[in-house]
Amino acid sequence: MVIVALLRYYVTKIMYAPDNQVLQPANMSFRALKKTIFEKLADFTKEDPGEINVLQLLESVKSDVKDNNALARSTRIRKGCEYLPEDAVKVRKSYFCKENDGYFNKKVGGVNPMAMMNPDMMSNMMKQNVQGMFNIFLFSVVGSFFSGFIIAQVPFPLGQKFKGLLQQGLNLQALDPSYVSSMSWCFLLIFGLQGVLNLILGDSDGMDDMSQMMPNPSQMMGQGGMDQKNYQALFKSEKENYEILSYKFRLEDAEDAFLAKYQKKIQ
Amino acid sequence: MDKDIKNHQQHLKNLIERSKKSFAYYLIEEAFYAALDIKQLDWANAFLRIITSKFTQSVKSMRMLGMLYEALQDHEKAKEIYQELILLNPNDTQSVKRLVALERDRNHLSDAITLLNKYLENNQQDMEAWLELTDMYLAKQNYAKASFCYEEVLSLQPNNFIVNLRYAEMLYSQGGADNLDSLYLARKYYSHALTMQDDKSNMLSRALWGLLQTCKQLDILMKNKEEKNTEIILTCQQKLKEIYSKSNNKIEINSMKLMN
């Protein structure tokens, strides 16, 4: 069982290996690499891009990266606002919430229906399916080879309710529930050995059996739109947060605190 | 020198073969940056070649090539490389940052500021970038904008002594006869910074001098005297005298203008 789990772990790990962006090949045009040590590596088929306007390029950054950062910043400002001067908070509030042209009032594109077609998303879904297949495969093998076997007996009496848990694959009404069938044993081991495996492998990245076997419903429904957050709603709630923000400057009495701390020591 | 590099390269290759993991490449990368720092460009070249032999034409090795050209003072070439990397992937934050540093190095401060502003529009959470922008505005003596950027850092670390101190200094620099508010705020932030420190700490004197200076300025500019202000001045002076009397190098601070 441990070996099977280890195998599973490595398969998962290989499948989910993050593709490191900085190690992706970069197709550089010949012009940029001319007279460098990489001259031969240049992509000769690529056209000379000519004058590159970086400012314009930065405009084209994906908006969800942008929106995520803006949201995070707004939360940070709201959290730390007590330590900022009032004007500073007001300026930022108006940047985010101003009528018409505030950041949170701009139009956000809806969820892209083509997201499912995105090859990234496709391969992700495929990987998830393979994961599920592995479990099913494991159970069917165990089921067909060991069906009908009783493998263990728990050393204490159990109620009838435990029959479903401990005697899967056995249809014997009269059997005492303290006997454990092979199928159930397999089940129990998959969950029970997780802690041991964590100790062996040192990390628990690929081992989230629980979440694999019992995918929560929201994940099942929105796998396509999973990382597509609804920014419109998030923006709206963030704006409301600003409305109810009660600003109180923490440093109002800072001088008194300073005097209290340093003055009495001298006298 | 050439022979040295060959030997070293051989040595490194042996090292790589011995350590099966990619950990050694990480070391070579570090060595590459170190070589750039001390301007040993032959070495840097050798290191870069080792890395490219494994990761041919990766984004990172291209960026490292750009850094090599930066070190060679060939700014145009480096700029071309970075620009093309950004063209390939506008989300490449590291390359944008390198480009900003490059522009700053060439003394094109305004270009660097425009670029970094654009970058910050997309990455509003990047503290490093906010700090850099603060630094550049300070270099241009644009204290209002510098303090705006520094507020971002302050909101993240409101209980950091140094951050509070620097923010107070920026506020003080903005203050004047027509901007008394900012002097008041500076006084608050200086006091706040000082309250956070233990009073035996050896970092106090900079903040104390700043606070003293601010209060003196307020004293001159205010129409009706405030009692609290004079109290702060006295406390600062006493504390400073105490600190300086303990120090080994005897500096006569009693005769200084601020002390009277």
Q: Is the pLDDT of residue B191 over 70?
A: yes
- Best of B60, B62, B239 to substitute, by most chain A Cβ atoms within 10 angstroms, is B62
Please report, for chain B, how many H helices and E strands are present, in that order: 13, 0
A31-40, A55-64, A159-168: segment of lowest average pLDDT: A31-40
Nearest to A263 among B195, B211, B235 (CB): B235
- Pair B25, B16: CB distance under 8 Å: yes
A52 and B83 within 8 Å at the Cβ level: the answer is yes
The string of pLDDT tens digits covering residues B108-135 is: 899 899 999 988 988 888 899 999 999 9
Taking CA A110 as the corner, what is the angle to CA A109 and CA A116, rounded to the nearest 5 degrees?
120
Would you state the pLDDT for residue B129? 93
A21 and B232 within 8 Å at the Cβ level: the answer is no
A26 and B88 within 8 Å at the Cβ level: the answer is yes
A151 vs B109, higher pLDDT: B109
Euclidean distance between CA atoms A164 and B58, whole angstroms: 55
The string of pLDDT tens digits covering residues A26-36 is: 666 666 666 66
The string of pLDDT tens digits covering residues A203-254 is: 555 444 444 444 444 444 444 444 556 778 888 888 888 888 888 888 888 8
Euclidean distance between CA atoms B18 and A233, whole angstroms: 54
B194 and A61 within 8 Å at the Cβ level: the answer is no
| Chain B residues inside the 8 Å CB shell of A75 | none
Euclidean distance between CA atoms A126 and A37, whole angstroms: 41
Would you state the pLDDT for residue A225? 44
Residue of B nearest to A66 (CA): B122
B242 vs A26, higher pLDDT: B242
Residue of A nearest to B114 (CA): A55
Q: Break chain A into its structural domains and give their ranges.
A: 25-51
Euclidean distance between CA atoms A258 and A238, whole angstroms: 36
Nearest to B90 among A25, A57, A80 (CB): A57
A72 vs A226, higher pLDDT: A72
Ramachandran class of A176: left when φ > 0, alpha when ψ lies in -120 to 50, beta otherwise: beta
Identify the three-state secondary structure at position A43.
strand
A22 and B59 within 8 Å at the Cβ level: the answer is yes
Mean pLDDT of A67-87: 87
| Chain A residues inside the 8 Å CB shell of B124 | 69-70, 72-73
Q: To the nearest whole angstrom, how far is the Cα of A107 from the nearest Cα of chain B?
A: 16
| Chain B residues inside the 8 Å CB shell of A84 | 151, 154-155
Q: Is the pLDDT of residue A17 over 90?
A: no
Mean pLDDT of B74-79: 87
B123 and A69 within 8 Å at the Cβ level: the answer is yes
Amino acid at residue number A257: A
Amino acid at residue number A143: G
Q: What average pLDDT is seen over chain A?
A: 72
* Percentage with pLDDT > 70 across chain A: 64
Residue of B nearest to A259 (CA): B232
Instruction: Give the H/E segment covering residue A15.
Output: helix A2-16
The string of pLDDT tens digits covering residues A170-211 is: 777 777 778 888 777 777 777 777 777 777 776 555 444 444
Distances in Å between the alpha carbon of B10 and those of B5, B35, B50? 8, 17, 10
Mean pLDDT of B79-105: 87
Evaluated on CA atoms A80, A84, A90, A92, the torsion sign reads: negative
Mean pLDDT of B234-241: 87
| Chain A residues inside the 8 Å CB shell of B47 | none
Q: Is the pLDDT of residue A45 over 80?
A: no
Mean pLDDT of A40-69: 73
Cβ-Cβ pairs closer than 8 A, A with B, add up to 169
Could you report the predicted ipTM of this complex, rounded to two decimals?
0.77
The string of pLDDT tens digits covering residues B130-186 is: 999 999 999 999 999 999 999 999 998 888 999 999 999 999 999 888 888 899 899
A26 and B62 within 8 Å at the Cβ level: the answer is yes
| Chain A residues inside the 8 Å CB shell of B187 | 254-255
- Best of B50, B191, B215, B238 to substitute, by most chain A Cβ atoms within 10 angstroms, is B191
